[in-house]
Structure 1
Amino acid sequence: MLASQAIKRIFHRSWKPLVRFNHGKAPTAIESIKKRIEDIPIENYRNFSIVAHIDHGKSTLSDRLLELTGVIQSGGNKQVLDRLEVERERGITVKAQTCTMFYHDKRYGKDFLIHLVDTPGHVDFRGEVSRSYASCGGALLLVDASQGVQAQTVANFYLAYSMNLKLIPVINKIDLDHADIAQAEDQIENTFELPKEDTIRVSAKTGLNVKEDLLPAIIDRIPPPTGCLDKPFRALLVDSWYDSYVGVVLLVHIVDGTVRKGDKVSSAQTGKKYEIKEIGIMFPDRTPTGILSTGQVGYVVPGMKASKDAKIGDTLMHLGREQETEVLPGFEEPKPMVFVGAFPSDGEEFKALNDDVNRLVLNDRSVSLKRETSNALGQGWRLGFLGSLHASVFRERLENEYGSKLIITQPTVPYMIKYYDGHERLITNPDEFPDLAERRNKVQAIQEPYVEAIMTLPQEYLGNVIKLCDHNRGQQTEITYLNMTGQVMLKYDLPLGQLVEDFFGKLKSVSRGYASLDYEDIGYRDSDVVKLELLINGSSVDALAQVMHSSQVERVGRAWVKKFKEYIKAQLFEVVIQARANSKIIARETIKAKRKDVLQKLHASDISRRKKLLVKQKEGKKHLKSVGNVQINQDAYQAFLRR
């Protein structure tokens, strides 16, 4: 009975909402979906994504499109494509997702197959964004009517434009009382040179104009896929995730040809061979159809065991036809740009935490993982991330989803060491930084990574933001006043090391939350950087060492010793806390020794007896200082690193 009702819903021309199909759905319902897909020609396919700044309503608009096309029931689902807890809490997209929709256009009396590829927007996940855009023919350029054009929108617009996507400008939240639709339209026209008359006004929350204007615009303006059914099969790997039951699940875009369950395929990048165990579309969950053909976006279960083998941008092709299949362009290995040391807050929890970290890495192949040992914090890992947001999301997932407790060291970026003999070395750990003797005799130059930062902000905060950028060694490259909006777009070349030092938080502070930020990697540049160490009685605390520009060393060093003094308990001997850079002590604080009153037991005695006891105490403390170890508990390191 339920299966027959589902079939009626699928073929009903008014296209009422469907039941939400999951594994275990009635076989006849799946066959009906397969039949409907087979009846839709490739010229009626539409693949698109949504380009938007954070909190401009991308997830809400996705939900509304899924409701209006019958994929989910109205009102019962929120943020369907944001599957991770951290995505829902932060209002961001971390993992690329896709969903297939059926849409019957009454104007033409035809069915259309629409693939929505929901992409991350932050620069940390730019590799996933570019691969997602490569699977699309167009994109919705979504702008909040109350906030206007923001930095992330600008950066993703240029990326989408460079990939020749057909862009449809959409103004969202027009139902708000403080919405300024005319201003948003002017910004779109002036910033992106898109005609004002092409703009579509919608309210994703209420559904206003989504069905009437937006869906028809997707059909009319976004071109169909250009692949060929007759060519050898090849597919673009868009994203992947790990399933504990079936292994790695691949999200793919079929560029040419057809692939079926049971087919044997190979990877262009790894050369490994697989047999397709399951294949289908996301509707919105995995719905096996047994086949994917040219132009479609769906999932493949190849029996892959390691997430590291799923390389974003890779080309999948039929086994035995590799020679006649052209590999898709644009593949790049992800390069970690922010590194942190991670250690368990309780050393006894190392084994359990090691299992949690490795399990989470299974779902995030862009994290680099290397075991390391610290004299201060014990066994841990050196973790590499695509950016500071990526690192923050990873830690939040580890704590929320697994209940793990970590001590995270200060983030550092990779530095390029160029030697006189011509070879180069990339270092990611401050412990690997060359000492003063090596720098003088062997090192020709040290380079640090730079980014181009794009900021949009109201004009009244321009002076504060310029001061902040200059203070962080920024070099201004462009300033644009957005006409009639009171907004300014700033472009600065900034060292990545400054950016990971909570630059975004400082930017929000000086602009009272109105400024937005996006950035793009622009390579390495020569820099005068040194390693700053914290010494306790002459011994370096390796977990706290940091590489920074020489102009910051004195200020940071003085702050370090004063702050760390607060977390060290007084010992029976004197404790000296020092900051050292280039073999030179630049700051010092001293914690006086605890002093026992050795004269307390003397009631009446001569002065020589008193002096003898004091001299004996002094010699004892001197001996203790030479052989004693300062006991620093993990809470002290944790408090200092979270300062």
Structure 2
Amino acid sequence: MHLNQKNIRNFSIIAHIDHGKSTLADRLIEITGMLATRDMQEQVLDKMDLERERGITIKLKAVRLIYKAKDGEEYILNLIDTPGHVDFNYEVSRSLAACEGAILVVDATQGVEAQTLANVYLAIDQDLEILPVINKIDLPSARVDEVKTEIEDIIGIEAQEAPMISAKDGINIEEVLEEIVKKVPAPKGDANAPLKALIFDSYYDSYKGVTCYIRVFEGRVFAGMNIRMMATGKEFEVTEVGVNTSKHVPLESIGPGEVGYLTASIKNVKEARVGDTITDALNPTKVALPGYKKVIPMVYSGIYPAEGEDFNTVREALEKLQVNDGALIYEPETSVALGFGF
């Protein structure tokens, strides 16, 4: 089934931490009927236990929603979730590169904050259509008009018409969906050109190997195809391709403008780097998508097991973690005081 590109909308949600980004994502998922209310867990997109526990989005995820708009047409909305924390700046920039639009969620009680700005500038760099949304209007301390003026003065985008919502209480969520359909541009791309797809996230699965979340810009990708990673030059055969609703749904192929996933018996996330371009090994594209950077670690720490005999257990844990996190580098070391560690 080849989708009509004009009915696809790829967008992400950007916000300062705790302004209600994951809650809004949950409401959009609920209102488009992708999950029954009883299946809804708080923060559906935050799959890692650490994300749920701390209420922050670390690894981003993509989910496909189907929305019947007021114009009678059915639209495919691909919501690409981004981390709101400043430490995940590169991940945010890669997920924004997979979109044509971004919803900017601003807390009506807090106004524009530092992290909001950092992510908005990333979105402006990617030339995205930015749709401001004022959240938490149900709170007594909400100062909606002031916040609208703040958005216009500080960021310089029109905000008087911005939907005023309460993601927690589900107020005005439909208005946000209508804004996405009306204002976010449909993706462009030629299905007959050589494959060009962006990896914006990847994770390791012990059964299938690395699963890459991808956005296809040109061409089509299908199971059985030989692909090449343009940053590393490694080649793989695609074993499965599909889209992510509440779970992975395998399809024959995905084409330009679509967001989905692929598996190709990749053993380590270092071979499927975030920001890399996937192309057809037999008919490669000439130029990779811009913006790829090697991820640089930001935090350094020493880890030593409390009991010396746990050294191998810690090493195994780090090996598993490294398979899932391309930015993690570790090396064994010894300390006179602490013994063997990393």
Q: Fold match, TM over 0.5?
A: yes
1:83 aligned to 29, 47, 53, which one? 47
Pairing 1:325–2:289 present: no
The corresponding residue for 2:118 is: 155
In 2, are the aligned partners of 1:47 and 1:137 still within 8 Å (CA)? yes
TM-superposed deviation, 1:207:
1.5
| SS across alignment from 1:338 | coil
The corresponding residue for 2:261 is: 299
Pairing 1:272–2:240 present: no
Task: Kindly indicate which of the two structures has a greater share of residues assigned to strand.
Answer: 1
Q: Distance in 2 between matches of 1:308 and 1:325?
A: 23
| SS across alignment from 1:200 | coil
The corresponding residue for 2:18 is: 55
The corresponding residue for 1:364 is: 325
The corresponding residue for 2:100 is: 137
In 2, are the aligned partners of 1:54 and 1:91 still within 8 Å (CA)? no
What amino acid sits opposite 2:200 in the alignment? V
In 2, are the aligned partners of 1:232 and 1:257 still within 8 Å (CA)? yes
TM-superposed deviation, 1:230:
2.0
1:337 aligned to 298, 316, 325, which one? 298
**CA displacement, residues 366-423 of structure 1 (integer Å, 9 cap, x when unaligned):** 1111121222212111xxxxxxxxxxxxxxxxxxxxxxxxxxxxxxxxxxxxxxxxxx
Q: Distance in 1 between matches of 2:240 and 2:153?
A: 48
In 2, are the aligned partners of 1:136 and 1:165 still within 8 Å (CA)? yes
Q: Distance in 1 between matches of 2:160 and 2:111?
A: 17
What amino acid sits opposite 1:102 in the alignment? I
- Give the TM-score of the pair, scaled to structure 1: 0.52
| SS across alignment from 2:157 | coil
Q: Distance in 2 between matches of 1:190 and 1:204?
A: 25
In 2, are the aligned partners of 1:168 and 1:198 still within 8 Å (CA)? no
TM-superposed deviation, 1:197:
2.1
**CA displacement, residues 266-296 of structure 1 (integer Å, 9 cap, x when unaligned):** 1111111111111111102211112111001
2:162 aligned to 174, 190, 199, which one? 199
2:65 aligned to 92, 96, 101, which one? 101
What amino acid sits opposite 1:144 in the alignment? D
The corresponding residue for 2:76 is: 113
| SS across alignment from 1:342 | coil
Task: Kindly indicate which of the two structures has a greater share of residues assigned to helix.
Answer: 1
The corresponding residue for 1:238 is: 200
Q: Distance in 2 between matches of 1:220 and 1:283?
A: 23
Q: Distance in 1 between matches of 2:252 and 2:109?
A: 45
- Counterparts of 1:442-481 in structure 2 under 5 Å? none
What amino acid sits opposite 1:92 in the alignment? I
The corresponding residue for 2:273 is: 311
What amino acid sits opposite 1:105 in the alignment? A
What amino acid sits opposite 1:217 in the alignment? E
Structure with the bigger RCO (C-alpha within 8 Å, sep 6+) is 2
Q: Distance in 2 between matches of 1:137 and 1:168?
A: 11
- Counterparts of 1:391-402 in structure 2 under 5 Å? none
| SS across alignment from 1:201 | coil
Aligned identity (percent) is 42
Larger-gyration structure (1/2) = 1
In 2, are the aligned partners of 1:95 and 1:120 still within 8 Å (CA)? yes
- Counterparts of 1:35-54 in structure 2 under 5 Å? 35=1, 38=2, 40-54=3-17
Q: Distance in 1 between matches of 2:93 and 2:70?
A: 34
In 1, are the aligned partners of 2:60 and 2:201 still within 8 Å (CA)? yes
In 2, are the aligned partners of 1:53 and 1:153 still within 8 Å (CA)? yes
1:352 aligned to 293, 309, 313, which one? 313
- After TM superposition, the structure 1 stretch with the greater mean CA deviation from structure 2, 331-340 or 96-105, is 331-340
2:30 aligned to 53, 63, 67, which one? 67
1:125 aligned to 83, 88, 113, which one? 88
**CA displacement, residues 614-636 of structure 1 (integer Å, 9 cap, x when unaligned):** xxxxxxxxxxxxxxxxxxxxxxx
In 2, are the aligned partners of 1:317 and 1:325 still within 8 Å (CA)? no
Q: Distance in 2 between matches of 1:124 and 1:196?
A: 28
Q: Distance in 2 between matches of 1:345 and 1:87?
A: 26
The corresponding residue for 2:172 is: 209
Q: Distance in 2 between matches of 1:350 and 1:120?
A: 32
Listed as ranges, the gaps of 5+ residues in structure 2 are: none
Q: Distance in 1 between matches of 2:142 and 2:290?
A: 42
In 1, are the aligned partners of 2:268 and 2:324 still within 8 Å (CA)? no
**CA displacement, residues 215-234 of structure 1 (integer Å, 9 cap, x when unaligned):** 11100100011222121111
What amino acid sits opposite 1:224 in the alignment? A
**CA displacement, residues 17-76 of structure 1 (integer Å, 9 cap, x when unaligned):** xxxxxxxxxxxxxxxxxx5xx3x4101110000010111111111011011111111254
What amino acid sits opposite 1:274 in the alignment? F
**CA displacement, residues 188-245 of structure 1 (integer Å, 9 cap, x when unaligned):** 111111223231111111221111x111110010001122212111110101001011
What amino acid sits opposite 1:297 in the alignment? V
TM-superposed deviation, 1:363:
1.5
**CA displacement, residues 243-279 of structure 1 (integer Å, 9 cap, x when unaligned):** 0111111011101011111111111111111111111
The corresponding residue for 1:255 is: 217
Q: Distance in 1 between matches of 2:43 and 2:9?
A: 22
Q: Distance in 2 between matches of 1:137 and 1:195?
A: 18
- Counterparts of 1:434-445 in structure 2 under 5 Å? none
Pairing 1:282–2:231 present: no
| SS across alignment from 2:303 | strand
- Give the TM-score of the pair, scaled to structure 2: 0.97
- The alpha-carbon distance between structure 1 residues 302 and 131, as it changes in their structure 2 partners (threshold 3 A), is same
**CA displacement, residues 508-541 of structure 1 (integer Å, 9 cap, x when unaligned):** xxxxxxxxxxxxxxxxxxxxxxxxxxxxxxxxxx
Paired positions, count: 341
- The alpha-carbon distance between structure 1 residues 86 and 269, as it changes in their structure 2 partners (threshold 3 A), is same
| SS across alignment from 2:80 | strand
Pairing 1:165–2:115 present: no
TM-superposed deviation, 1:137:
0.3
- Counterparts of 1:398-437 in structure 2 under 5 Å? none
Listed as ranges, the gaps of 5+ residues in structure 1 are: 1-34, 382-643
Q: Distance in 1 between matches of 2:88 and 2:252?
A: 31
Q: Distance in 2 between matches of 1:275 and 1:327?
A: 19
What amino acid sits opposite 1:264 in the alignment? N
In 2, are the aligned partners of 1:341 and 1:380 still within 8 Å (CA)? yes
| SS across alignment from 2:300 | strand
TM-superposed deviation, 1:119:
0.7
